[in-house]
Homo-oligomer: A and B are copies of this chain.
Amino acid sequence: MTISEENYLKVIYHLSLVSPKGVNTNAIAGMLDTKASSVTDMLKKLAEKDVVTYKKYQGVSLTNNGLLQAKKIVRRHRLWEVFLVEKLQFTWDEVHEIAEELEHIKSEKLINSLDAYLDFPAFDPHGDPIPNEKGEIKKQEKQLLSEMPTGVVCKCVGVKDSSADFLQYLDKQKITLGSEIKILEKETFDELIKVEVDAKEVILSNKIAVNLYVQ
């Protein structure tokens, strides 16, 4: 598997979580910042290698083998993110780019040793679950902050958007994984939400609320 092939697999995996009946060529192109024609070429190659099933004009989906491969890449990505934050003191907005490179280092022993060294973390710095060696993912029930009713107290457990911009904005609002959030008031007109984060009042826009996972 080349780095390019791995990047395609990973993107197809992420997209298939949202649209399980088949992933569009254009969606893949968008995520990889490439052209649809390039995607078509690659899909044929991946189908040839039996990691995706591909029917012209019908989109792709991962085979069992492709799914396992993809999860292994995700596992590597997220373990490296944990390493960078826990051991090298990186912040959660700095790790993604570097993990994009590190995820392609292929050594089972390396990644399993790293896993043990980090004490078998279940989640990465953005609250995303880390697949185990067999690709199994322990999934937690979590909801978007925007879906929670007024009055409840919940805990921030993840982000949907993990762009540096969004993460830095959360830093500014003093919201981190584990923060207690009490929903004080939801404005129906402009969808602003007044919340209490760790005993301080904050106004959050809908854009924040639809990208923050709580429990």
Contact = CB atoms under 8 A, between A and B. Distances in A.
Nearest to A90: B113
A102 to B, nearest CB: 6
| Oligomeric state, in copies | 2
Contacts of A94: 109
A105 B113 contact: no
A183 to B, nearest CB: 38
Interface residues of A, number: 19
Contacts of A42: none
A188 interface: no
Contact of A107 (B98, B106, B109): B98
Interface string A133-171: 000000000000000000000000000000000000000
Contact of A110 (B88, B106, B117): B88
Interface of A: 84, 87-90, 94, 97-98, 101-102, 104-107, 109-110, 113-114, 117
B113 A98 contact: no
B105 A117 contact: no
A101 to B, nearest CB: 5
A98 B111 CA distance: 11
Contact of A88 (B88, B97, B106, B117): B117
Contacts of A109: 90, 94
